[in-house]
Amino acid sequence: MATFSLRDALLYDHLADDQVRCNLCAHRCVIKDSGRGICRVRENHEGRLYTRVYGNLIAQNVDPIEKKPLYHFYPGSMAYSIATPGCNFRCEWCQNWQISQMPRLMTLPDRRRLQPEAIVESALATGSASIAYTYTEPTIFFEYSFDVSKLAHEAGVKNVYVSNGFMTPEMIDLYHPWLDAANVDIKAFKDETYRKLMGGRLEPVLESCRRLKAAGVWLEVTTLIVPGVNDDPEELQALAAFIYDDLGPETPWHLSRFYPQYKMTAKNPTEQAILTETKAMGEEMGLDYIYIGNVAGVYATRCKNCGQDLIVRSGYQTRIVGLDAEGTCTQCGVRLDGVGIRGG
Ligand code: SF4
């Protein structure tokens, strides 16, 4: 382990007067000498861009892959889950705001840097099938996740991003050979909501989803339904249509229940009826796999052809019940969409 320090950043352009343009996320910040970008984790020194969070871990846990959530990617496996501080958004309902907003709120603690090899060793030692870059926005710690990802693949471990999707095409083009799966939040389907409540924009997120899918990365989408923010049925219908038309009906859609958080403590939790109605609407439109999240209960992945239960989940307990060793339905023989699906 080495002492925490600045580390050269990737993906930026030199501009006049020692300014730089960061091309990692869709903000494309133009940063003056001695300045920082919107995320507050990338800073310019004399025309050279650095990251402040390389190896500066703020969280490490072994989580069920279902917690990401990814339901069609090595179901029942564990994901070694890591984060460094920071985010390029500032969502008012963020459940991890203490670490996602840390670079904006306080001086970053001067920790010791954990080298990528140590993460892969921990993943192997804990029997994790994948490493998940999660909790905060992994785009913001791209250089670190990229180095960990390359070593992970050499060791036979998969890589998973849990992201707001506000990345640039250049980043996806550079990274996708090492990225096996992603869960991308589509947090609303109105650009105005992205601008006002998150400090982002909608279209770059949609473009990332299209690009990840086209690159062969297994993609699942999550929408946290927040009362009064994105629960208009027409908006949710438009979002479902985007998933169907642009990403494909086999793309799982996770509808998560909101609980009061951060700057939105005055709101009530999402009514369960809205979640079930949205699920029914999406299924009516032809989406194959829609899941309700943040609500206790037993939930199944059903065969899209015959409706047989294939995988049953209660909390984070996962049982594969209707699949053969090739991952096809034991009743009708149609294959379950996903990666790493096996019977048992
Ligand atoms: S990662 Fe995004 S927010 Fe951070 S400096 Fe680069 S463009 Fe700006």
Query: Could you report the per-residue pLDDT of 282-298, keeping only the tens digit for each?
Result: 999 999 999 999 898 88
Report which ligand 1 atom has the smallest distance to the Cα of 88.
3
The CA 43 to ligand 1 mean position distance, Å, reads: 9
Ligand 1 centroid–CA 208 distance in Å is 16
CA of 88 to the centre of ligand 1 (A): 6
CB 169 within 8 A of CB 206: no
Dihedral-angle region of residue 34 (phi above 0 means left; psi in -120 to 50 means alpha; beta otherwise): left
The pLDDT score that the predictor gives to residue 344 is 37
- Indicate which atom in ligand 1 lies nearest the CA of residue 40: 4
Is the whole model's pTM more than 0.85, yes or no?
Answer: yes
- Ligand 1 atom at minimum distance from 166 CA: 2
Helix (H, G, I), strand (E, B) or coil at 225: strand
Which atom of ligand 1 is nearest the CA belonging to 37? 5
Centroid of ligand 1 to alpha carbon of 22 (angstroms): 6
Six-digit token pair at 30? 């133009």
Helix, strand, coil percentages, rounded to 5, for the chain:
30, 25, 45
> Which atom of ligand 1 is the closest one to the Cα of 31?
5
Counting ligand 1 atoms within 8 A of each CB, the residue from 10, 21, 24, 164 with the most, and so the one to mutate, is 24
Question: Considering only CA atoms, which residue is closest to atom 4 of ligand 1?
Answer: 39
Provide the β-strand partners of residue 290: 253
**DSSP calls for 51-100:** ES-TT--SEEEEEEGGGTT-SSBSTT-EEEEEE-S--S---TT-TTHHHH
**pLDDT tens string for the chain (344 positions)?**
344 578 999 999 999 999 999 999 999 999 999 999 999 999 999 999 999 999 999 999 999 999 999 999 999 999 999 999 999 999 888 888 888 888 877 777 666 688 999 999 999 999 999 999 999 999 999 999 999 999 999 999 999 999 999 999 999 999 999 999 999 999 999 999 999 999 999 999 999 999 999 999 999 999 999 999 999 999 999 999 999 999 999 999 999 999 998 888 889 999 999 999 999 999 999 999 999 998 988 889 999 999 999 999 998 899 999 999 999 999 999 999 999 997 43
Phi then psi for residue 48, to 5 deg, are -120, 130
- Residue for token pair 């580390």: 7
- Taking only the tens place, the pLDDT of each residue in 22-50 is 999 999 999 999 999 999 999 999 999 99
Best of 8, 19, 22, 90 for a ligand 1 pocket test (most atoms within 8 Å of beta carbon): 22
Of all atoms in ligand 1, which is nearest to the CA of residue 142? 1
Give, using CA atoms, the residue closest to atom 6 of ligand 1: 22
> What is the per-residue pLDDT for 3?
43
| CA 338 – CA 327 distance, rounded (Å) | 9
Residues at CB less than 6 angstroms from ligand 1: 22, 24-25, 27-29, 37-39, 42, 88, 140
Ligand 1 centroid from CA 56, angstroms:
17
Confidence (pLDDT) at 2: 41
